[in-house]
Structure formats: C-alpha cells, structure tokens
Amino acid sequence: MILYPAIELQNGRCVSLYRGRLDEPQIWHVDPVEKAMEFAAAGAEWLHITDFDAVTGEGGNEDLVAEIIRKAGIPVQLAGGMRLGERAVEWIDRGVGRVVVGTLATRHPDTVKALAKQYPDQIVLSVDVYQGKVVDDGWRSLTAFDPVDYVTAFEDAPLAAMIVTDIDSDIEDADASLGLITGLADMSRTPVVANGLIQSLDDLSRLKYVRNVAGAMIGRALFRKTISLPDALELAWAPLEPAAGFK
C-alpha cells in the first residue's frame, strides 16, 4: 500500500478543511516546502498536494507548488483547478507525477478518457461523494451521478488511480467511509486511494485488508501528530498476515 502524505494549500499556507469549508480553514504554522521535504525524508514514496485557491478559481499557489516539485525529491500528485485538459497537460509538462481531475471528469468525461490514454499512469479520477451522489466544483455542486455508475463509466480508461472521498461521513464515523470505499474498490479494476479515512494506525490496519485499495491519503493526522509518518509507512509496507478461513 502506498501512503500519500497530503499538503493542502490556501493563500500559501498549509491548512486543513472540515468537509471542504473553505471559509473555516485550520491553519498549520509550518513552511509547506519544508514539510514536503520532511515527508520525503521520512520515506514517503509520493506526495499529494491540493491547491484550494486553484479550486475556487481565485488565484493559486503555482510558484509554491513548482518549488515543492523541485525540492521534495519524490513524485507529486496534484489536485485543484484542473477544469481544462490543457491545464492538466501543463502541470504534467512542469513535472507533476500525477494530476487529479474531478469537475473535468463530471462535465467532460471524454476529455479525461483521452488524457488517460495519452498520459497513462498520470491521470487520477477524484470520486467525491455526498448524500449518495458524486459532487464537483470543489464539493459545492451535487451532481446526479451515482458513484457506482460514475466509476463504471471510466472503467475502460487507463487511469492511474481513483481517489474516493466520503464527504457525508464525519471523521468519527470511519465505518461509513470504509463501506463506501470497500464497495467501489470491489467493483472497479482501477486502483483505489482512500481519502479522509486514516485518523489512527488502526484505521490503516483495517484498510490494508480491503481488496483493490492501493493507497491512502493522510493529512490532518500527520499535522496533528496523532500519527507518525515513519510508523504509518512501516505498517503500510508490512506483509499482510494470513486471514483465517471459514467453513
């Protein structure tokens, strides 16, 4: 399993949002570039960045993201503001390992499928679910798409992964999110990356046994220091213990 330490940017600062509420950020007083280098030094194989300013279309953190790409020393997966295919290609040309598409996929699915064929292993589908439906536009618009039907529509595209986020589930209600992720992972051939689920090492332990879950994003727990990244990496890389059979 691959762990993706997540850095969320707003106005040049590291933040965490509760259910995507952009007007109520929890600000972490750390340098984003130094934090990225710290995650890499701890052994992370990938780094995930979400640019919330690009999500809203009110500017962005392009220079900061570019600096992180140069200095982190590990591949970067970038989300935020990929509403045009040209924008995704621009970031790939600038050295991003993977780009995450959400609104582009709900509104122009053929563009995303073409990008996935042109850039295999570099396009990631974001599947954000609220009240049983997929949402887009930075979690601000509820679509008519059922998550299963939505994921099925992209089954033929050579996507690198899909990130599944259950917005409707409170942080304390991890079982609900695990149920959504388990269901989508079970029916999809695309590797699943779980988002918003890992608050403890116990959560990570359970997730390891879900079929087709290839990774997990961890953000707030790392900044709160309720999870040590070296400990989480050790657990993620450990071989699965054999499960007892039932007759």
Active-site residue among 53, 128, 166, 203?
Answer: 128
Q: Is 86 a catalytic residue?
A: no
3-state secondary structure of 192: strand
Return left, alpha or beta for 138; rule: phi > 0 is left, psi -120 to 50 is alpha, else beta: left
| CB atoms near residue 143 (< 10 Å) | 16
Contact between 127 and 106 (Cβ < 8 Å): no
Q: Is 63 a catalytic residue?
A: no
Extended strands (E) in the chain: 2-10, 13-16, 26-28, 47-51, 76-79, 98-101, 123-130, 133-136, 141-142, 161-166, 192-195, 213-218
Rg of the chain over all Cα atoms, to the nearest angstrom: 17
The helix or strand, by DSSP H or E, that contains position 95, with its residue range, turns out to be none
Active-site residue among 8, 53, 136, 166?
Answer: 8
- Catalytic residue numbers, as ranges: 8, 128
